[in-house]
């Protein structure tokens, strides 16, 4: 029997009710702009919550600030006793800013950043059970709950999410007589046709240091592997992963189908810009690229990233995180504010404004039926079955950086995937053992 979204929420509520009561029993037993600080909202309340949040505006505007302004104003109307101060930081700085605040003994009450595991492992964060009402906690999509866990307890609360299907330029495909691929062989064949038609980059493969860990993970999953095994231990140099990179090196890079820039030197931002300018035939895309490319006259097609013989069992999802810090002791106020933030209205407002995906069952169901967000339906369809990077591991930050700096060498001329993946894998296993 198929459950509708309301039934799924009810079922999840019952499933997690015991967890919430158990956690409670255990507890009884035991701003401004992207370049500065400021106050969004105000007042003379009895409690002041401090929030540090990332800037999602890709155009240099103030859409993120306006979202938080509206959110705080609406919350204050219902909770005049709580003042909320929000500081907006660029993505280049926000994680470091929060780390510096924590080191200085001035942790914010709430941080909306890219990673939570280090803070969770150091016991700086409230768990989801300590903060959220049971219906709110149960409403998160299952892959995002799992990805938000450190040592089997959820500390990272998903803020927004995205998936990464294969994008292709419809006009270039039609001119070259290529078909949207469903297998690796079909992808290589389409790239050959695009190259023969004169497309500068038939397939963009950004394995440069900006986000190589994500591009690589998409390919590993499509090849039946991944960064971790079924027991959630690193398995970077598995046979499946080595096969995947051998295929990329031989069938795409080795045949000149990945364009004039070596994958190890190509960053995602440059690849996306080239796609939006009509110089790339295919790449693994992000929701924000749809609007950017369409704005420049590119007709974008979307299909799931092909697997070896067809659609892979799973694809990659990505989430950004929000969390509550223990230092100031404002557990109740933090929880009330986050319950408010995770209402359908607020979740949909931020996700929709930024061409990203909502993180809850009910908001996802509403977005899927909204004609205004028809361009996000392929992304939404993929999200419930995605696998996220192992962000719950405290070692992941260092492992991810190692991947960013070195994985591109695996597909270079004369590259040896087994050696490159083996070196990264040994370092990852050592880092995991030290957790």
Cβ atoms of 358 and 287 closer than 8 Å = no
3-state SS of the chain: helix, strand, coil percent to 5?
50, 15, 35
Candidates 215, 189, 218, 217; CA nearest to 204 is: 215
Q: Which residues contact 122 (CB under 8 A, 6 or more apart)?
A: none
More confident position, 89 or 16: 89
Q: Percent of the chain, pLDDT > 90? A: 77
Q: Which long-range contacts (CB under 8 A, 24 or more apart) does 402-407 make?
A: 402/427, 402/428, 403/212, 403/213, 403/216, 403/236, 404/208, 404/209, 404/210, 404/211, 404/212, 404/213, 405/209, 407/207, 407/212, 407/213, 407/216, 407/264
pLDDT of residue 270: 93
Q: How far is CA 119 from CA 24, 105, 110, in A?
A: 21, 13, 12
If one compares 224 and 34, the residue with the highest pLDDT of the two is 224
Mention every residue, 6+ apart, whose C-beta is less than 8 A from residue 313.
Answer: 221, 224, 307
Whether 4 has a pLDDT exceeding 90, the answer reads no
Torsion, Cα of 422, 424, 427, 432 (10° steps): -100
Specify burial of residue 375 (Cβ count, 10 A radius: 0-12, 13-18, 19+).
middle
Indicate if the pLDDT at residue 410 is higher than 80. yes
Q: What is the pLDDT of residue 11?
A: 46
CB atoms inside a 10 Å sphere around CB 171: 13
Residue range 43-102, pLDDT digits in tens: 455 899 999 999 998 667 899 999 999 999 999 999 999 999 999 999 878 999 999 999
Average pLDDT over residues 162-187: 96
Predicted local confidence at residue 183, as pLDDT: 97
Q: What is the mean pLDDT of residues 28-37?
A: 37
- Estimate to the nearest angstrom the gap between the alpha carbon of 373 and the chain centroid: 19
**Rounded to whole angstroms, how far apart are CA atoms 311 and 303?**
10
Phi, psi of 223, deg, nearest 5? -95, 10
Q: What is the pLDDT of residues 119-159, one digit of tens each?
A: 999 999 999 999 999 999 999 999 999 999 999 999 999 99
Query: Does 35 score more than 90 pLDDT?
Result: no
Residue 397: helix, strand or coil by DSSP? helix
Structural domains of the chain, with CATH: 5-162+318-387 (3.40.190.10), 166-303+395-433 (3.40.190.10)
Q: What is the pLDDT of residues 348-371, one digit of tens each?
A: 999 999 989 999 999 999 999 999
Threshold 0.85, pTM exceeds: no
User: Measured between alpha carbons, how far is 202 from 168 in angstroms, rounded to an integer?
Assistant: 10
Q: What DSSP letter does each residue of 107-164 carry, written as one string? A: --SEEEES--HHHHHTT-B--HHHHS-HHHHHTB-HHHHHHTEETTEE-PEEEEEEE-
The stretch 296-322 carries a mean pLDDT of: 93
Vertex 69 angle, CA 328 and 124, to 5°: 25
Contacts of 5 (CB under 8 A, 6+ apart): 361, 362, 364, 365
* Alpha helix stretches (DSSP H) within 168-319: 170-176, 184-196, 212-222, 239-247, 268-276, 287-295
Report the percent of the chain where pLDDT is more than 70.
Answer: 89
Q: pLDDT tens-digit profile of 268-305? A: 989 999 999 999 999 999 888 888 899 999 999 999 89
Q: For residue 62, what are the contacts with CB-CB under 8 A and spacing of at least 6?
A: 33
Task: Return the structure tokens found at 145.
Answer: 């709950």
Query: What is the reported pLDDT for 356?
Result: 92
Structure confidence at residue 435 as a pLDDT band (50, 70, 90): confident
Instruction: Give the pLDDT of residue 25.
Output: 35
């Amino acid at each position: 029997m198929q459950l509708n979204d309301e039934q799924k929420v009810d079922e999840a509520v019952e499933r997690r009710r015991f967890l919430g009561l158990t956690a409670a029993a255990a507890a009884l037993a035991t701003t401004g702009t992207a370049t500065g600080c400021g106050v969004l909202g105000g007042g003379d309340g009895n409690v002041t919550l401090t929030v540090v949040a990332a800037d999602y505006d890709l155009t240099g505007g103030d859409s993120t600030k306006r979202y938080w302004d509206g959110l705080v104003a609406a919350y204050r109307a219902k909770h005049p006793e709580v003042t909320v101060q929000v500081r907006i930081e660029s993505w280049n700085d926000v994680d470091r800013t929060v780390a510096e605040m924590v080191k200085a003994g001035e942790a914010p009450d709430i941080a909306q950043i890219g990673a939570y595991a280090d803070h969770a492992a150091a016991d700086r964060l409230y768990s989801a059970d300590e903060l959220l009402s049971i219906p709110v906690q149960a409403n998160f999509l299952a892959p995002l709950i799992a990805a938000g866990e450190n040592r089997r307890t959820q500390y990272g609360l998903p803020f927004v999410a995205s998936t990464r299907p294969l994008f292709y330029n419809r006009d270039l495909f039609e001119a070259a007589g290529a078909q949207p691929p469903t297998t690796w062989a079909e992808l290589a064949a389409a790239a050959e046709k695009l190259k023969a038609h004169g497309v500068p980059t038939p397939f963009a493969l950004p394995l440069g240091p900006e986000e190589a860990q994500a591009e690589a993970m998409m390919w590993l999953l499509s090849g039946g592997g991944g960064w971790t095994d079924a027991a959630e231990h690193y398995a970077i140099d598995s046979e499946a992963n080595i096969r995947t990179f051998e295929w990329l090196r031989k069938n795409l890079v080795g045949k000149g189908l990945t364009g004039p820039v070596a994958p190890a030197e190509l960053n995602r931002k440059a690849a996306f810009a080239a796609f939006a300018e009509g110089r790339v035939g295919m790449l693994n895309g992000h929701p924000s690229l749809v609007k950017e490319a369409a704005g420049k006259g590119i007709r974008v097609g979307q299909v799931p990233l092909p697997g070896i013989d067809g659609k892979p069992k799973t694809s990659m999802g990505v989430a950004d995180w929000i969390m509550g810090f223990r230092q100031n002791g404002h557990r109740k106020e933090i929880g009330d504010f986050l319950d408010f933030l995770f209402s359908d209205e607020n979740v949909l407002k931020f996700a929709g404004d930024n061409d990203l995906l909502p993180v809850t069952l009910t908001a996802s169901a509403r977005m899927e039926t909204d004609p205004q967000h028809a361009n996000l339906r392929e992304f939404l369809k993929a999200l419930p079955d995605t696998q996220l990077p192992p962000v719950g591991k405290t070692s992941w930050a260092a492992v991810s950086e190692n991947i960013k700096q070195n994985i591109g060498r695996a597909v270079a001329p004369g590259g040896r995937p087994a050696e490159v993946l083996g070196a990264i894998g040994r370092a990852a296993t050592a880092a995991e053992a030290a957790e």
